[in-house]
Amino acid sequence: MTSDRARTALPPEYRHRRLTADDRGALLDLDTWAFPDPHAVAEFDDLPLPLTWERAVGVELAGAPGDGLAAIHASYPFSRFPVPGATLPTAGLTWVGVHPQHRRRGLLTAMIDHHLDECRRRREPLSALFAAEAAIYGRFGYGKAADDLRVTVPRGAALRDVPGAADHTVRVEHADRARHGDLVARLHRAPGLPDGPTGVNRPGWATRETEELWESYWADPKSFRASGRESLRIVVVERDGEPRGYATFRRSLDWQVTGPRGTVHLGDVVALDAAAARALWGVLLDLDLMSSTDPFLLPVDDAVMSLLVDPRAAGARVTDNVWVRVVDVPAALAGRRYQADVDVVLGVTDSRLPDNAGSWRLRAPAFAAATCERSDAEPDLELDVRELGGAYLGGTSLAALAGAGLVSERTPGALARTSAAFGWPVAPACGWVF
C-alpha cells in the first residue's frame, strides 16, 4: 500500500540521514540530552547497543554536518510480533529523541512521518512502542493497546496450591548467556506463539529477535546496575529435566534496626503452565534476607495475581504498556484472529495516512482466517485509527471506547458483536521495554 499524503517535511535547514556504527558517539550524546543520564558518553563503551543500524535515522543541520545530531529515531525489526492468534511484521519504534536546542520546530512530526513511510516500504502493517510520555503519540495515531501491573509482593505471601507444582526442581544460578541463552530465548518466545502453551497466544509479547538485542540483554557491567543491586541471577524450574519456566532477578539489601529489608527486583518472568508458575513464584517469594519481591511489567492477568491468597497485599497498580499504530488497515485486520464470528463494516479516519481512511468490511469466523476489503457500504461502526490501534491487541474494549465517545455505532447491535470479536482470552502485554 502506498500513501497519497504529503509527508511532513523537515524545516529547510535540517535533513534526515541514515546512521551507521560510526555515529555511535553522536547518537549516545543526543540520547543523553533527550533522556538525562548520570553516565558520561564514554562510559557507554562498556555496553553493546541494541540498535539495528540500518533502521536508525538522525536529523542534522543540513549546512553543518558534524556539528552533532538534532534528533534521532530508530526501530526494531519484529518480524514475528504477536497479535491475536497470529504474528505480523511490526516496527518497534524506539530511541526517539530531540536535542533541547532543537525542540518546537516540527522535528518529531517529520520523524514520525518518515517512520510511517519506512513501515510502508518494508511492508510492516503495524508500529508499536513504549511511550515515554503518554500524551505525545496519540496525535500520531497510536492507541494504548495494553496495560501491565506493577506490584510489590511481601516475602512469604501465601500462594494457593497447584497440582504438579511439587514435581518441579529448581536451579538458582548466576545468569550466563553461554549456559542460559538458548533456554531463555526459547521460553521467552513461547507465550507469543500462535499455538502458545495456554492454547492461545499473548498479543504484544515481543521477543528479542536480533543479536544486538540479545547482546544488550545479557550485558551486565557493574557501573550500570541500579544502586546496590547485584549481578543478574536466574531461577529455572524444570520438570523431568525439561525447563518449564524461568525468572531473572537482582537483589538489593537494606539493613534496618528491625532487621534486613531486601528487595528482589524481577526482570523476565515466564512459566509454561500453572504448575510451573506456582513452583517459580514459590521460590521468588521466599528468598532469605528479602522483605518484598517487585516484578516489572507483569501482564494484568499474570498467574501470580490468582495464586496469591491475599492479592490486595501486592498493592497492584496498572499502567500503560504497549501502544500500537495501525499502518496498513486491511493487512492488519486480516492478519489477526477474532474470538467470535465477525462481519462488520468499519468506517476509519486517519489524518496521517489517508489511504487507511474509508469503509472496510471485515469478515472472519471465530479463531480462523479473516478478510478485510474496502467497501462502498455505510459503516456499522466509526472510529479513528488511534482507537483501532488501541483495540487491536484485544486488551481494550471497543465498547469501552464507545462509552468514552470514541467509537460510534451506526448499526444497532454492531458494537456488542464487534467488541466481543475483537477481544482475546489472554491479556496483551510486553514483558520488556523496547
Looking at residues 210-226, what average pLDDT do you find?
94
- Write down the pLDDT at residue 123: 98
Strand order in the sheet with 322-326: 14-18, 56-61, 71-83, 86-98, 126-130, 322-326, 143-144
Q: Is residue 226 domain-shared with residue 162, that is, in the same domain?
A: yes
185 domain residue, yes or no = no
Q: Which of 267, 301, 320 delimits the end of a domain?
A: 320
Q: Which of 287, 320, 353 delimits the end of a domain?
A: 320
Q: Is residue 270 domain-shared with residue 373, that is, in the same domain?
A: no
Looking at residues 192-221, what average pLDDT do you find?
95
Q: Which residues pair with 371 in a beta bridge?
A: 363
User: What CATH number corresponds to the domain at position 346?
Assistant: 3.30.1050.10
Label residue 87 by pLDDT band (50, 70, 90): very high
Q: Is residue 170 domain-shared with residue 307, that is, in the same domain?
A: yes
Q: Is residue 273 domain-shared with residue 337, that is, in the same domain?
A: no
Looking at residues 199-215, what average pLDDT do you find?
97
User: What CATH number corresponds to the domain at position 107?
Assistant: 3.40.630.30
Sign of CA dihedral 376, 378, 380, 381: positive
200 domain residue, yes or no = no
Looking at residues 214-243, what average pLDDT do you find?
95
State pTM to two decimals. 0.95
184 domain residue, yes or no = no
Q: Is residue 165 domain-shared with residue 69, that is, in the same domain?
A: no
194 domain residue, yes or no = no
163 domain residue, yes or no = yes
Q: In the predicted model, is pLDDT for residue 32 greater than 90?
A: yes
Sign of CA dihedral 383, 145, 18, 37: positive
Q: In the predicted model, is pLDDT for residue 346 greater than 60?
A: yes
What is the 3-class SS of 58-118, one letter each residue? EEEECCCCCCCCCEEEEEEEEEEEEECCEEEEEEEEEEEEECHHHCCCCHHHHHHHHHHHH
> How crowded is residue 20: how many other Cβ atoms within 10 Å of its Cβ?
12
Q: Is residue 342 domain-shared with residue 399, that is, in the same domain?
A: yes
- Write down the pLDDT at residue 257: 92
- pLDDT tens digits, 354-390: 999 999 999 999 999 999 999 999 999 999 999 999 9
- pLDDT tens digits, 407-434: 999 999 999 999 999 999 999 999 999 9
Q: In the predicted model, is pLDDT for residue 3 greater than 70?
A: no
- pLDDT tens digits, 75-85: 999 999 999 99
Structural domain harbouring 353: 326-422
Q: Is residue 30 domain-shared with residue 130, that is, in the same domain?
A: yes
- Do you know the residue count of the chain? 434
Q: Is residue 264 domain-shared with residue 388, that is, in the same domain?
A: no
Instruction: Look at the chain and report how many structural domains it folds into.
Output: 3
Nearest residue to 103 (alpha-carbon basis) of 173, 159, 30: 30
Share of the chain above pLDDT 70, in %: 98
207 domain residue, yes or no = no
Looking at residues 272-278, what average pLDDT do you find?
98
